[in-house]
């Protein structure tokens, strides 16, 4: 669509005679159309306003619409329209009077304010209900421009009087106006008389009007129990309504009325049960969703109400994803020992159903995890089910399983071994989700003592350290390797050294860096104490703090039937994000400091909530705490630990352990393996891990070769035997996914020169990738030849 | 309350834009549209919060209806209210789509301004709105105009008959003296493979479109064998409804005892009643049986059998059955039991689905589809076939 030029419209407007109704309407329609699209046609203001004097109501309406949009931009020109509007306010046709008053009051500009009060006051006592309705709403507009013109004036008294107007909509508008104008005082003041009067007229109001009266009733505190019952009986019909907003508004009154009558609560919830269920299954997706959110909230308070109806919340094929999620949430709340198996089976179908989006499949796994933590008696069944998802070898399912497994294993540590039995099915390369990675790493650190490959799996993560984006994964990696190091020192020492080296030089996230420094110092200060600290006994877990959302749900019950329920957060937490943004960017005056403080507190809660899934470790190791301890440690011990390093340091105040790996190396050294043979290589070679590592880093002469293996490597240990029998000794080895990784060393006969190899075998493709390093460059080629003959071809 | 109201085209153009409170600076429609783009136009939460503004929107007829607000209002209120606005526009325009909205801008603005004043809901009842509406509807396609003029016979009423606009009172158009009742039912059922019911749910609604020119008291008498309430035990004969909800101005006091509803129907479209049936009280229209068999090591056979439980006189047009096949399967052989030209089955590699189409499915018939495919990869099919029967609507005319 080409952009319309306002100038063309002006010409059109001027060239059409005001008598030619069709043409003039057509031009105005085009102008309104351009305005709607967002084209600025305010330059036509004078022309449009001068067309205002028409008697054609269709044109008038379009001109008023134009005025309402642009008047605030052109206050001085709006004066041109005021005369016509004033005249129209006295027109004999009530519809014209109403329209004119509505437009006049929407020219909200302080300059025009003096023209407003008189027609509004006249409108409030107009004989036509249509005009009174408009006049009542206009008082709000007046109030918004200048409070003092309304507050404390006779208008308020008049509005209270109008609560008894014969026109139902005038009554509703008066409630709305009083609520807006008296918002600071908590809205319209309410007494028994007014309340009973409004409730008795309930049938006169439109459904929207009813809702407004019910919102008032929800704020009303009945004087006696009897009154409470009377009101609830009056509202019985509203509950049974096709309009879900009306039903929920009635539900809120019921809930509030019985706030102090706990013996009635159960009965009230029983009353809500069936209508809400029917509304939640209706055909409007959005309406149903809103009701489902409220069912979820009520169910968190009183799970027994819908417990027998849990099947009604089974997913339907054509439910949108957001509905599917809330239904699964509801199922998780309704799970009992009795229906546990049935619900787990149903949820498992959602996970494997190819019609469901990955998001829903993943959510199904999350909910299964949540239920299992809630009812830990059945963990065995669930763990088997979860492993069956891993067997499908779909990476996003595996990731989700990993994410929830850590929580299950924390409650049920026996599952760890079963998990490691399944481990071979997981292709680590496909795990991309930081939470899944972190969870896997945590499990390896915590339970890796019984899992042969644990150090090598972690090594793979260390190898990929530089490409890792998530600081949380890095922190978990540090934690896990520290733990595993104390359980299996020989295998982990080198890897940990490398990780500490990487992490202490990693300035991408301060927590990672600080934690690495902290661990490093811990190790170098007192090995035994470090072990005690890192491997401290944990208390048995029953509940997770973050699963305990009772408080949140109780708060939300106070905000029943508002958007907070949809967002799942109290509104002050949601709206505060906006305040924060304003503070940052708009640089508002610091008027209310007290309020700000409160907000910060809330915000902390809020962010905890957001990250609760990521921060499961909090209870054991608070990374922030660690960092501060770390600082102290640094300050106290900086000097003596830095002695031999001072010359290496620039401005950097932190100590990098790069060159100090021997410190770690002394902690443990592996006994050498001995075999007998002869050849170009010494039959016995001895090297300890830390000097191996040093050599690996320092030796510059290296060659990389790729070989195609003749026969498939069936067994890791057989292959290692073959290496050893050829005087190539194994330093470390491990299988990660499809890769077999081996580090070897050999000693050139009659010399002190070593040859080191990093062998990576792709077990699927039968490729062997080897990086050879030797201090003797000339020997390297000879050795590679030897390697090919004896290892690859043989 | 409501700060702004918009109708957006599928491409994000503003077709109708009304700012009541002038309190939101950001460009709301762009925020919504960016959000939709982020989500690839998949369905996502109907309400979200951004920079202090709440966005509540409903997709309908390929258009987006958006309301924004600064306050923590009731989500259901706004959602139901938006739905009511949509119905009002349909009442006055006959139907709603992009062309209708573009061509009837002034009419829709007129309507919106009567329905919402300064963000507060006013009148939404079609009859009382009529006297404030001056524009006449501009219909776009010739089809509509032709349709309006053709004289209909008593017995056959096309589905379009109820999709005509209600003229405003200043119009010279002749009013039709008729009232339409649509009974719309959605059935969701899941079967286990032996055809037993796992969960069943029927959600029905009675939608009324009233073109009666006179204000009349309407009395509606339901079947005698209608029972209401949740039934735990064996069901007796008759129709068993778990729950029913009614239009707010409908007198339902005699419904449970006598099955009688009384009301003065408002002009235009409204929902008279919502009801729900569950479990065994539903007459399942079709039963589906499935079996899976490993013919040899690499061959898997899936058989689907459908029995229509309807009497022969009721024919479904059309009907479709689909189920997913693992992604690595390249081809599937389909064998149909019936050899008529009303049905065909094929494998769609793009969606990995077997689609079994019926041009018509006669009541009382049994049809079987046998499919076989290579299953060279080890796979443990727990139950990745889901049988969900979704009914189309059943329409009954009362005149």
Chain B contact present for A57, CB below 8 A: yes
Residues whose CB falls within 8 Å of the CB of residue A610, separated by 6 or more in sequence, listed in order = none
Residue A618 has pLDDT above 70, yes or no: no
Tell whether A371 lies on the interface with B, counting CB pairs under 8 A. no
The sign of the dihedral angle between the CA atoms of A81, A86, A91, A94 is: positive
- The percentage of residues in chain A with a pLDDT greater than 70, rounded to a whole number, is 85
Q: Which of A508, A538, A568 is the last residue of a domain?
A: A538
Of B13, B248, B390, the CB nearest to A207: B248
Asked whether residue A708 falls in the same domain as residue A787, the answer is yes
In-domain check, residue A582:
yes
On whether any CB of chain B is under 8 Å from the CB of A61, the answer is yes
Interface test with B, best of A208, A214, A295, A583 (most B CBs within 10 A): A208
Q: Which range marks the domain in which residue B308 is found?
A: 286-374
Of the ranges A273-277, A278-282, B137-141, B220-224, which is most confident?
A: A273-277
Asked if A167 and A132 count as a contact pair (C-beta separation under 8 A), the reply is: yes
Same structural domain, B300 and B347: yes
Measured distance CA(B317)–CA(B337) in Å, rounded:
19
Interval A209-216 mean pLDDT: 94
Mark which of B236, B263, B281 sits at the end of a domain.
B281
Domain presence at residue A722: yes
Among positive and negative, which fits the CA dihedral A718, A719, A720, A721?
positive
- Band (pLDDT 50/70/90 cuts) for residue A684 is confident
CATH number of the domain residue B223 falls in:
2.60.40.1170
Among the residue ranges A345-349, A522-526, A616-620, B34-38, the one predicted with the least confidence is A616-620
The size of chain A, in residues, is 794
Residues A709 and A757 placed together within one structural domain of the fold: yes
Q: Which of A29-43, A325-339, A454-468 has the highest mean pLDDT?
A: A325-339
Across the range A286-308, mean pLDDT stands at: 92
Residue B138 forms part of a structural domain: no
Q: What is the mean pLDDT of chain A?
A: 80
Say if B136 falls within a structural domain: no
> Does residue A73 surpass a pLDDT of 80?
no
- Residues ≥6 apart with Cβ < 8 Å to A60: A52, A54, A88, A96, A99
Q: Which residue has the higher pLDDT, A151 or A668?
A: A151
Instruction: Assess B177–A contact: CB distance below 8 Å, yes or no.
Output: no
- pLDDT tens-digit series, residues B362-393: 777 788 888 777 655 444 433 333 333 444 33
Same domain, B266 and B290: no
Tokens 């966005």 map to which residue? Answer: B55
pLDDT at A602: 42
Residue A583 inside a domain? The answer is: yes
In a domain, B62, yes or no: yes
Domain co-membership, B123 together with B190: no
Starting at the edge strand found earlier in the chain, the sheet holding B332-336 runs B286-296, B299-308, B366-374, B332-336
SS3 label, residue B345: strand
Question: Does residue A572 share a domain with residue A532?
Answer: no
- In this prediction, residues A70-75 reach a mean pLDDT of 78
Interface of A with B in 124-183 (CB under 8 A): 133-134, 137, 140-141, 169, 173, 176
Which among A596, A569, A594 has a CA at the least distance from the CA of A583? A596
pLDDT in tens, A527-540: 888 888 888 776 66
Q: Pick from A201, A146, A136, A124: which is nearest to A175 by CA?
A: A136
Task: Please give the pLDDT value at position B394.
Answer: 30
How far are the Cα atoms of B82, B95, B163, B173 from residue B90, in angstroms, in the given order? 12, 4, 8, 17
- Whether residue A730 is found in the same domain as residue A767: yes
Residue A406 has pLDDT above 60, yes or no: yes
Q: Looking up tokens 């129990």, which residue turns up? A: A225
Q: Which of A93-107, A774-788, B151-165, B275-289 has the lowest mean pLDDT?
A: B151-165
Domain stops at, among A476, A511, A538: A538
What 3-state class would DSSP assign to A537?
coil
Q: Which of A32, A566, A582 sits opposite B109 (nearest CB)?
A: A32
> Could you give the CA distance from residue A369 to residue A351 in angstroms, rounded to a whole number?
13
CB contact under 8 A, A355 and B386: yes
A2 in contact with B at a CB cutoff of 8 Å? Answer: no
pLDDT score at B266: 84
Sign, CA dihedral A43-A47-A53-A58, equals negative
**Residues of A with Cβ-Cβ distance to B105 under 8 angstroms:** 29, 32-33, 36
Chains A–B, number of C-beta pairs less than 8 Å apart: 236
Selected residue with higher pLDDT from A393 and B390: A393
A736 backbone dihedrals φ, ψ, rounded to 5°: -125, 115
Q: Taking residues A70-97, what's their average pLDDT?
A: 84
Contact list, B380 vs chain A (CB under 8 Å): 388, 391-392
Interchain proximity B80–A245, CB inside 8 Å = yes
More confident residue, A121 or A589: A121
Q: How far apart are the CA of A466 and the nearest CA of chain B, in angstroms?
A: 29
CB contact under 8 A, B121 and A559: no
How far is residue A659's CA from residue A645's CA, in Å, rounded to a whole number? 9
Which chain B residue shows the shortest CA-CA distance from A27? B106
CA distance B377 to chain A (A): 11
CA-closest candidate to residue A244, choices B264, B245, B224, B7? B245
Q: Identify whether A712 is part of a domain.
A: yes
Residue A667 has pLDDT above 60, yes or no: no
Q: Predicted confidence band at A175 (pLDDT cuts at 50, 70, 90)?
A: very high
Q: What is residue B162's predicted lDDT score, i.e. its pLDDT?
A: 61
Lowest mean pLDDT among A47-51, A53-57, A686-690, B146-150: B146-150
Interface test with A, best of B248, B251, B353 (most A CBs within 10 A): B248
Q: What does residue A745 show for φ and ψ, rounded to 5 degrees?
A: -145, 150
**pLDDT confidence of A181, banded at 50, 70, 90?**
very high
CB contact under 8 A, B245 and A247: yes
Task: Report the pLDDT averaged over residues A264-286.
Answer: 85
* Nearest alpha-carbon partner for A68 in B54, B119, B166, B193: B119
Question: Does A697 share its domain with A785?
Answer: yes
Q: Is A233 on the interface with B (CB under 8 A)?
A: no
**pLDDT-derived band of residue A576, with 50, 70 and 90 as boundaries?**
low
Give residue A10's pLDDT.
78
Q: Please enumerate in sequence order all residues whose Cβ is within 8 A of that of A728, keeping only pairs 6 or more positions apart, or say none.
A: A681, A744, A745, A746, A757, A787, A791
Q: Which of B281, B303, B326 is the last residue of a domain?
A: B281
Residue A510 domain-assigned?
yes
Distance (Å) from the alpha carbon of A75 to chain B's nearest alpha carbon: 15
The residues in B 366-395 lying below 8 A from A, measured between CB atoms, are: 379-380, 382-384, 386, 388, 390
**Locus of tokens 């096309």:** B158
Beta bridge partners of B207: B182, B271
pLDDT above 90 coverage of chain A, percent: 19
CATH number where A782 lies: 3.30.310.10
Last residue of a domain, one of B97, B130, B163: B130
Are residues A709 and A785 located together in one domain of the fold?
A: yes
The reply to whether A129 falls in a domain is no
Full domain range(s) for residue A579: 548-589
What is the number of other CB atoms lying within 10 angstroms of the CB of residue B183?
17
Length of chain B: 399
Residues B246, B309, single domain; the answer is no
Least confident of A83-87, A321-325, A558-562: A83-87
Give A 12-31 residues with CB within 8 A of chain B.
Answer: 25, 28-29
Answer yes or no: is pLDDT of A210 > 90: yes
Shared-domain flag, residues A723 and A785: yes
| Pairwise CB contact (< 8 Å): A106 & B118 | yes
Q: Which residues of A touch B42 (CB under 8 A)?
A: 321
> Is residue B109 domain-shared with residue B63, that is, in the same domain?
yes
Shared-domain flag, residues A558 and A472: no
Q: Is B16 on the interface with A (CB under 8 A)?
A: yes
User: In chain B, how many domains are there?
Assistant: 3
Low-confidence ranges of chain B (pLDDT < 50): 142-158, 377-399
Name A217's Cβ contacts closer than 8 Å, sequence gap at least 6: A195, A198, A199, A231, A235, A253
Chain B, residues 334-363, CB within 8 A of chain A, namely 352
Ramachandran angles phi, psi of A770, nearest 5°? -130, 135
Q: Quote the pTM value.
A: 0.71
What mean pLDDT comes out for the span A636-646? Answer: 40
Check CB contact under 8 Å for A567 and B324.
Answer: no
Record: contact B75-A563, CB cut-off 8 A: yes
Confidence of residue A587 (pLDDT cuts 50, 70, 90): very low
Residues A479 and A504 in one domain: yes
- Residue A770, beta-bridge partner list: A705, A759
The one-character DSSP state at B210 is E
The CA-atom distances, in angstroms, between A2 and each of A37, A202, A785, B247 are 12, 52, 75, 46
Calculate mean pLDDT across residues A414-428: 78
How many folded domains does chain A comprise? 3
What pLDDT was estimated at residue B161?
58
For residue A347, pLDDT beyond 60? yes
Same domain, B275 and B295: no
pLDDT at A666: 44
Question: Is A386 a domain residue?
Answer: no
**B387: number of Cβ within 10 Å:** 22
As beta bridge partners, residue B199 has B190
- Contact residues, B window 146-175, toward A, CB-based 8 Å cutoff: none
> Quick one: A528 and A492 in the same domain?
yes
Indicate the residue of B49, B184, B190 with minimum beta-carbon distance to A574.
Answer: B49
Closest CB to B201: pick one of A140, A312, A582. Answer: A312
């Amino acid at each position: 669509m080409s952009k319309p030029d306002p100038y063309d419209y002006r010409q059109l407007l001027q060239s059409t005679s005001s008598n030619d109704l069709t043409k003039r309407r057509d031009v105005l329609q085009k102008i309104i159309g351009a305005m709607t699209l967002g084209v600025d046609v305010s330059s036509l203001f004078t022309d449009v306003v001068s067309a205002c004097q028409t008697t054609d109501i269709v044109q008038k309406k379009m001109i008023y619409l134009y005025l309402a949009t642009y008047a605030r931009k052109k206050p001085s020109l709006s004066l041109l329209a005021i005369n016509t509007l004033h005249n129209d306010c006295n027109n004999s046709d009530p519809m014209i009077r109403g329209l004119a008053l509505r437009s006049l009051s929407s020219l909200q500009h302080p300059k025009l304010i003096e023209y407003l009060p008189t027609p509004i006051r006249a409108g409030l006592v107009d004989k036509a209900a249509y005009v009174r309705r408009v006049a009542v709403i206009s008082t709000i507009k007046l109030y918004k421009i200048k409070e003092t013109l309304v507050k404390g004036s006779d208008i308020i008294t008049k509005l209270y009087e109008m609560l008894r107007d014969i026109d139902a909509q005038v009554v509703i508008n008066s409630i709305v106006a009083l609520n807006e104008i008296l918002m600071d005082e908590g809205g319209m003041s309410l007494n028994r008389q007014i309340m009973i009067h409004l409730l008795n007229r309930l049938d006169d109001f439109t459904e929207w009007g009813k809702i407004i009266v019910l919102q008032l009733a929800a704020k009303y505190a009945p004087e006696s129990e009897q009154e409470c019952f009377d009101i609830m009986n009056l509202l019985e019909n509203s509950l049974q309504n096709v309009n879900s907003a009306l039903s929920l508004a009635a539900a809120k009154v019921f809930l509030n009325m019985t706030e102090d009558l706990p013996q009635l609560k159960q009965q009230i919830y029983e009353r809500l049960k069936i209508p809400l269920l029917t509304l939640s299954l209706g055909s409007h997706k959005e309406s149903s969703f809103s009701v489902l959110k409220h069912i979820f909230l009520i169910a968190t308070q009183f799970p027994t109400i819908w417990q027998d109806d849990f099947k009604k919340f089974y997913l339907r094929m054509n439910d949108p994803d957001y509905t599917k999620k809330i239904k699964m949430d509801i199922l998780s709340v309704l799970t009992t020992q009795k229906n546990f198996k049935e619900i787990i089976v149903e949820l498992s179908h959602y996970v494997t159903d190819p019609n469901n989006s990955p998001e829903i499949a993943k959510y199904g796994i999350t909910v299964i995890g949540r239920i299992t933590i809630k009812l830990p008696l059945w963990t065995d069944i669930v763990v088997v089910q979860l492993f069956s998802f891993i067997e499908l070898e779909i990476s996003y399912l595996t990731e989700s399983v990993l994410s929830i497994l850590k929580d299950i294993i924390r409650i049920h540590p026996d599952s760890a071994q079963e998990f490691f039995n399944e481990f071979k099915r997981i292709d680590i390369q496909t795990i991309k989700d930081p939470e899944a990675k972190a969870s896997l790493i945590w499990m390896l650190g915590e339970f890796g003592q019984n899992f042969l490959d644990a150090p090598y799996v972690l090594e793979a993560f260390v190898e990929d350290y530089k490409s890792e984006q998530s600081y949380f994964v890095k922190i978990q990696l540090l934690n896990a390797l520290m733990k595993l190091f104390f359980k299996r020192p020989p295998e982990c020492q080198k890897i940990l050294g490398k990780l500490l080296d990487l992490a202490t030089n990693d300035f991408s996230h301060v927590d990672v860096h600080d934690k690495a420094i902290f661990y490093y110092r811990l190790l170098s200060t007192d090995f035994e104490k470090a072990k005690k600290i890192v491997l401290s006994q944990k208390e048995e877990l029953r509940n997770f703090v973050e699963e305990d959302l009772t408080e949140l749900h109780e708060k939300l019950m106070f905000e029943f039937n508002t958007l907070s329920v949809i967002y799942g957060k109290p509104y002050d937490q949601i709206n505060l994000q906006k305040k924060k943004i304003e503070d940052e960017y708009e640089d508002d005056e610091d008027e209310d400091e007290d309020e700000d403080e409160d907000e910060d507190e809330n915000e902390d809660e809020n962010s905890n909530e957001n990250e609760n899934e990521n921060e499961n470790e909090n209870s054991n190791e608070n990374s922030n705490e660690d960092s501060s301890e770390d600082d102290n440690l640094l300050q106290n011990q900086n000097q003596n630990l830095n002695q031999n390093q001072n010359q290496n340091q620039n401005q950097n105040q932190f100590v990098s352990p790069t060159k100090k790996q021997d410190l770690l190396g002394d902690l443990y050294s592996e006994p050498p393996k001995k075999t007998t043979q002869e050849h170009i290589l010494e039959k016995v070679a001895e090297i300890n891990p830390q000097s191996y590592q040093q050599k690996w880093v320092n030796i510059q002469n290296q060659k990389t070769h790729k070989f195609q293996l003749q026969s498939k490597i069936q067994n890791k240990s057989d292959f290692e035997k073959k290496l050893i029998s050829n005087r190539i000794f194994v330093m470390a080895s491990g299988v990660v996914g499809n890769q077999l990784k081996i580090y070897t060393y050999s000693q050139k006969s009659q010399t002190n020169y070593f040859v080191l190899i990093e062998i990576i075998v792709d077990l699927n493709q039968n490729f062997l990738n080897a990086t050879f390093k030797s201090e003797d460059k000339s020997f390297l080629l000879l050795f590679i030849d030897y390697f090919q003959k004896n290892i690859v071809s043989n | 309350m409501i700060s702004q109201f918009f109708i957006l085209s599928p491409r994000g153009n503003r077709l109708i834009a009304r700012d009541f409170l002038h309190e939101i600076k950001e460009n709301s429609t762009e925020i919504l549209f960016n959000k939709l783009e982020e989500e690839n136009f998949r369905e996502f939460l109907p309400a979200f919060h951004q920079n202090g503004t709440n966005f509540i929107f409903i997709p309908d007829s390929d258009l987006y209806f958006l309301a924004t607000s600064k306050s923590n209002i009731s989500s259901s209120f706004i959602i139901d209210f938006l739905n009511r606005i949509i119905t009002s526009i349909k009442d006055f325009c006959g139907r709603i789509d992009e062309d209708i909205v573009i061509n009837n801008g002034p009419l829709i603005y007129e309507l919106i301004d009567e329905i919402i004043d300064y963000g507060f809901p006013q009148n939404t009842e079609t009859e009382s709105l009529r006297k404030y509406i001056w524009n006449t509807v501009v219909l776009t396609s010739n089809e509509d105009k032709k349709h309006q003029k053709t004289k209909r016979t008593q017995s056959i009423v096309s589905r379009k008959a109820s999709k005509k606009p209600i003229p405003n009172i200043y119009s010279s158009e002749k009013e039709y003296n008729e009232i339409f009742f649509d009974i719309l039912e959605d059935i969701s059922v899941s079967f286990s493979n032996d055809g037993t019911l796992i969960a069943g749910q029927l959600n029905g609604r009675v939608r009324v479109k009233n073109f009666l020119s006179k204000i009349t008291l309407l009395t509606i008498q339901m079947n005698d064998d209608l029972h209401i309430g949740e039934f735990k035990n064996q069901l007796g004969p008759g129709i068993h409804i778990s729950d029913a909800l009614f239009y707010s101005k409908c007198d339902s006091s005699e419904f449970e005892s006598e099955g009688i509803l009384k009301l003065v129907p408002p002009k235009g479209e409204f929902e008279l009643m919502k009801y729900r049936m569950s479990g065994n009280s539903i007459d399942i229209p079709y039963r589906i049986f499935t079996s899976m068999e490993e013919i040899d090591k690499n061959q898997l056979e899936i058989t689907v059998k459908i029995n229509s439980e309807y009497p022969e006189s009721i024919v479904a047009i059309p009907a479709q059955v689909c189920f997913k096949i693992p992604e690595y399967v390249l081809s599937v052989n389909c064998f149909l039991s019936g050899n008529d030209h009303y049905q065909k089955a094929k494998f769609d590699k793009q969606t990995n689905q077997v689609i079994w189409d019926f041009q018509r499915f006669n009541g009382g018939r049994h049809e079987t589809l046998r499919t076989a495919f290579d299953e060279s990869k080890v796979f443990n099919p727990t139950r990745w076939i889901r049988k969900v029967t979704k009914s189309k609507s059943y329409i009954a005319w009362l005149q």
